[in-house]
Each structure stands twice: as C-alpha cells, then as structure tokens.
Amino acid sequence: MKSSLAFARHHILPAAIFFAAAWLLAHADWFDRIENLSMDVRTRLRDTVRPAPPPEDVVIIAIDEPSLRDFGRWPWPRDLHGDFLKLLGRVLPSVVTWDILFTEAPAKDGNVLSTQGPDRDQLLADGIEASGGAVVLGAMRVEAGEGLPPGDAALRDARLKPLPRVIGDRSKVPSSPAMLVPAGKLAQIAEIGFVDTPPASDGVRRVAPLMVRFGDNLYPTLSLQSLLQHWEMKPENVEVRLGDAVLLDNGGTRRRIPIDATGGYQINYRHSATGFTLRGYSTLHSQLQSFFQDKKGERPKDLTGKILLVGQFADALSDNGPTPFEPLTPLVLVHANVIANVLAEDYVRPVPPLVIWLGGFVLGVAGLIRFSKRKLVEQAVFSLGLPIAFVAAALAAWVQGSWLVPVAGPLLGFCGIQVFMIGRRVLAEQRAKEQIKGMFGTYLSPELVKRMVDSGESPQLGGHEEEITAYFSDIQGFSTFSEQLPADRLVELMNEYLTACTDIVQEEGGTLDKYIGDAVVAMFGAPIALPDHAYRACVATQRVQARLAELRAKWQAEGDKWPPIVWNMQSRIGLNTGRCIIGNMGSRTRFNYTMMGDDVNLAARMESGAKTWGVYNLCTEATRLACEQHGGDRVVFRPLGRIVVKGRARPVPIHEIVGLKESIAPSARDCIGVFSEGLECYYRQEWQRALACFRRSAGLEPNIPGRNPGVTSNPSLVYGEMVTRFESAPPGENWDGVYVMKEK
C-alpha cells in the first residue's frame, strides 16, 4: 500500500499537476496565440518544402501595380469594369467574382464620386448582362446607420437569397443590423456574396465565415456564393448543419464542407500569392481587347470554365492584411484559398486533442519512472529528443495530410514535467557534488574541480593519453623588460598581462597548466573533452593578440608610467594538436595537473620558431586541419613551409594564424595570395619570380617593421632574405625546401 502511494506521489501526481495546469493555460486567449503561431510556422514550412500546384479551376485577376500605372488612381470608373466583363464573357469563365464593393460612396459634399453614379453603374450593369455568365459582387455587414437594414425597400428587388435549409442554433452565426450591397441595378442583376472575413485576435484570418446572419436568415459569403455559381447550384441545394458541415448537392456535384457552430470554416492555407495562377487586370484587359477587337494576339485559353477572382493586389491599396504567409497579404487570397480547398476537398483535419494530451501525459509519467535515477545524458536525450520528435511528427502530419495536431499545450505540460524531474535530480545530486569537491579539492585546482562537477565527468588521476591542443605563449624580448622595470612595476605589468591571457584561454575552454615567468602554458581538450579544442585554441590566439593591442594603447595612454618598450610589447604563441599524456605529474606529496609528450614539445617549438619566421601566431598542420574541421574557414591561415624542429627528424608543415575571417583586412588576404605564389616558386627554385612575389607581399603584410609596434620582421622579409642567399648559393640537387631549426 505504501509503495503504491509513493509511486503515485512521485510519478503520477506531478505529471497530473503539470498537465492540468497546461490544459487550463491552453484555453487562455494569450496562449491560443502561441498555438496559432506554431500553426502559421507549419503552414509556411509546408509551402516551402511541399508547395501545392496551382488550383486548376481558380484564376486571380490582380489589380496590381502595373494596372494602377495603366488605368490611373483607384477607384477606376465602373464603365471600365463593364467593358472588362464584356470581354471576359467571350472566353466563357464559370463565374467572375469581384472581391470589391460596388456600393455608392457619397463624397463630403453629398455628390457621388466621379467614378460612380447611376450612369457609371448602368454601364457596369450592361457589362454584367453582356458577359452572359455568372457574376458575383461583394456585399458587407455594417453597423446601423451605415447601410440598409434587412427588409428595406431598396433591397426588395436585390438578388439576395437566404439559405433555406438550416439546422442548429442560428444565434451563434455573426450578425449585423445593416448591410452594404451593390448600388442600384447592380444588386438586381448580379449574385451577391458577403466579403466578411473577420481577423482573429492577433489580426490573422484563420477562420472564414461561409455565411452571415441578418435577423433569422443566413446568406452565403463571397467564397460560398462563388462555388454555388460555379456548380450552378441554388440555395435549395445547400443544407447548413451548424457545428458540423455545409452540404452541397445538386445531383451532379456533392461536397461536405466542415464548419463550426458560427458557420466558420477553418482555412487550409495551401497557396500563397505565388501559388495561384495570376493575371494582371490591365494586362489581361489589353490581351482580350487586342484579340477580340483588334484581331491581334492569341485568345486566352486558361480562363474558360474557371472561377475568376478579381481582387486588389497592389501594396498601395487597402485590401491587405496578415495571413500565415505574410504580414501584408492581398486578402482576396483568403477567398481564393477557401474556394481551392472546397474544390479539392482539401480540408483541415483536426486530430482529437484528447488523444495528444493523454499521450503526452503517459509519456511524461513514463519519463519520471524511467529516468529519475538514470544518467543525465539519457534524461537529456529523452527530454529534448521527444519534444523534437513530436514537433517533427506534427509538422509531417500537417505537410503530408493536413492533420492539425495541437502542439503548444501538450509541450508545455511535458516540459513542465522535465523541469520538475531535473529540479528533483539537482536537489538529490547536490550532496554527491559536494562529496566530489571534498574528495578532489586537495588535489586539483578549484577551477578544475568546478568543471569536473559541472560536466559530470571525473578526470583520471595519473597519466592517460588524450588528444589535445597544447598552447605556449611568451613575451618578445622579456629580458629587456626585466632590465628596465623595477620589481614592483614588473609584477604589476605581468599580473595585468597574465590575467588577460588566462581569462581568454579559460573563456575559450582551455585549462591553464602553469606560468613560467612571462610564459603561459595551457591545454585545450583536457581534463574536459572538447571536440573542437583546436578551433578554440586558434580563436584564443586571436583574442589574446587583440586584447594585447588594447593593453598597449592603455599603457601608452598612461604616459610616463611605462617606458616605450611596454608600449611595443608583443607576444608569440605556438600551437600543436596531437595525442599527449595528461594527468597529475610530480612527487607523492606535491604534483601538478599537466601535459607531456612529443606533441607538447612540438607546440613549444612553434612558439619559439615564430620568431624565426617573423610571426606572432604559429601552428602545425595538425592544428590547422583540426581547426578547419570544426570552425570551417573562420580562422584564416597562411602556409609558411616545412621545418624540422630541434630534436626531431621529420619535417612538419607550419602555418601562421593570420586572423579571423570577419576581421581580416583585404590587404592581408591579398598578401596571403601573393605570398603563397611566391612560396610555390621558392619550392620550384624559381628564385627571381619568388623574390618578386615576396617583395610585393612585403608591402601588404599585416605586420611591417617601423609601422606596427614591436615588429622587427615578417614572413615576406624572411623568405626574401632566404631567396637572396639561395640565388647566390643555390642548394644541392636533393634540396626539398625544408628548413632545419638550429635552436629550440
């Protein structure tokens, strides 16, 4: 009994609390916006990875920027639209739907705008009649006093027909006391559809009403009316089941359109602006006029039998708003997507939320049971991997089959459980961490102990082999500093310099090994493994050099406090990557966590060898390759040839670490190119060409004697001198270009 209660208290109860809280939050308006945002992201991704082909039966006639340039300022005279309808009628479209209000709009002086009025309306009406096909004009719900109330005498002859077969509570369907309908005779000869598509609380239109209510009557919106005309259906062919579906059936065509209790249809946004067949208004008008009146060009063949939607597409016009695709989208796309959905029967298919919530709860409980005492990495894989897999599955379901999976709420509940589980583990493991600190605190530095505890890994006491990048740095001409500075000033200077170097090394993940006077010895990749240790070490060299430049400026600004030699301080850094012995070395009573081995010695030779080549950052080929494996081309290298260091027999390719890509000057890049050309000539013993290249690159060097503080040489000058010597005394036949260092 006690074990069952403990099980429920430790596993089931926490999961129930977090999922209940998430369920309540998921029903808040502000949280609903998060779910909608995730839905919009999925829709955009679907449009990117699996764009749907343009609907075959829908063409948008766009009132776009070229049309405004051709026909002038909007609104245009209605006789222009009438003429356009006459031309469109000759290509026999299924229906021409205008997402535009042709209602009278009196100016401030009470007169009708010049683009409207009885004469203009008659010309548009003549165009509608002459088109010979179905034409749908837009109407809109408005407040009392802004339009006509239902039953008004002016509406007596309008083609405003309610949907007679309605099942359900009509009071939930959006209603208004008045409406704006097409002016005069236009309302009598054209079909009418309401353009209303109210936005959600965040401004995005996700649900489009298929009907609006006036009194007790329901009238079709623009998209539904367009479909009725396309299939030659009458209102009697429509059955509305509020909260279920709109059923269309004329004996030949049947459709079931899912709706909610308000008559709203959840739009399955399949097509952005580029996903429809678009025809510019003025372009199409000109093409039709040219063919039918001037007998030129070709007859448009992609309009016959199609639903033509005329809508505003220009940014300067007002009929724009946010959709899941863009923050500013032509709103005719809302109607177009609804129509395309119904034509293809491509509807949003909601997955029952209870299934998702229950599944998340079960997995949360399973995680509490399984991972409470498992390794942290296993819990991390579960805690991160499962949400990622869930989001990926929800995305795949949406992309492949328009299955709508609730994401934000279940994720919140699951993540809350993971936070609880981690917090409980932190409290339980804190005591164990304190024991680790007490065990190793007398052997290792506090920094190493802290990193060991944070990583959950224990460094091996005693020697073990590990691949690392060894780091050696030394101040150029430090003995002169000791001669010119009193002891207290020398200590102050070294403390400031060594603090800056050490902070950067440790920020990049390196471990300080020791100080040897002015020298800094460090390692990257131990005691905590770092896969990108070479890249970190290379970045550290550039940060140290940049910080040293700042210190030089600071010391010079302090005036007579420091002699000029301090203003010109330069530091040389050498790196090498390889397998070394890492561990606690020393006597039984006194030891140090350090590194040793041939690759460590080679790193030290890189630091001392940097002086020979006139550079301040030198590394081996092994370090360059390992750096580029993880850092790509961010770190810029310059090959300096092959050398044999003292104590070794095999040559080693070496490289200068020139800088980071984002801070390299164009002249430095040019220098590398010219220098590399000269180096190739040098190996081919083409001394004249090599010397010419090195003389050109010498003027492009990042460090030039006399210009840069403390600089006495650079690779171009060094190789120039070597070429000059070889030109007068050529090497032997077996010369391979390898330079043999005589000093350590």
As its CATH architecture, domain 460-660 has 2-Layer Sandwich (3.30)
pLDDT in tens, 362-379: 887 777 777 766 676 777
Residue-by-residue DSSP string for 394-436: HHHHHHHH-EE---HHHHHHHHHHHHHHHHHHHHHHHHHHHHH
Residues 440-466, mean pLDDT to the nearest whole number: 59
pLDDT in tens, 396-427: 999 998 999 988 888 888 888 777 777 777 77
User: Identity (one letter) of the amino acid at 300?
Assistant: P
Q: How many CA atoms lie within 13 A of 55 on its CB side?
A: 28
- pLDDT over 80 (residue 12): no
| In contact, 98 and 335? CB cutoff 8 Å | no
The structure tokens 């998430």 sit at 22
| In contact, 59 and 307? CB cutoff 8 Å | yes
pLDDT in tens, 96-155: 999 999 986 433 344 444 455 556 778 888 888 888 889 999 999 998 888 888 888 878
- Domain edges within the chain: 2-47+350-430, 51-344, 460-660, 665-744
pLDDT at 433: 63
CA distance 563 to 482: 12
| In contact, 140 and 213? CB cutoff 8 Å | no
How many CB atoms lie under 10 A from the CB of residue 569? 22
CA distance 736 to 652: 13
| In contact, 413 and 18? CB cutoff 8 Å | yes
Top-confidence range, 13-17, 315-319, 646-650, 676-680: 676-680
| In contact, 88 and 305? CB cutoff 8 Å | no
Among 539, 511, 542, residue whose Cα is nearest residue 525 = 511
Least reliable range by pLDDT among 107-121, 223-237, 586-600, 683-697: 107-121
CA distance 336 to 319: 14
pLDDT in tens, 455-497: 655 555 567 889 999 999 999 988 888 888 999 999 999 999 9
The structure tokens 């539904």 sit at 224
CA distance 414 to 368: 11
| In contact, 719 and 678? CB cutoff 8 Å | yes
pLDDT at 572: 96
pLDDT at 410: 86
pLDDT-based confidence at residue 720 (cuts at 50, 70, 90): very high
Tokens standing for residue 7: 């099980």
Q: Torsion angle, CA of 543/544/548/554, rounded to 10 degrees?
A: 60
- pLDDT over 80 (residue 681): yes
Residues 282-306, mean pLDDT to the nearest whole number: 86
What's the mean per-residue pLDDT of the chain?
86
- Assign 3-class secondary structure to 664-716: CCHHHHHHHHHHHHHHHHHHCCCHHHHHHHHHHHHCCCCCCCCCCCCCCCCHH
Among 552, 499, 484, 561, residue whose Cα is nearest residue 710 = 552
User: Identity (one letter) of the amino acid at 672?
Assistant: I
By DSSP bridging, strand 464-475 and strand 403-404 are unpaired
Residues 298-311, mean pLDDT to the nearest whole number: 89
pLDDT at 118: 56
CA distance 520 to 495: 12
CA distance 269 to 323: 9
Least reliable range by pLDDT among 320-329, 437-446, 656-665, 697-706: 437-446
pLDDT-based confidence at residue 223 (cuts at 50, 70, 90): very high
Q: Which residue has the higher pLDDT, 30 or 677?
A: 677
Top-confidence range, 335-344, 462-471, 558-567: 335-344
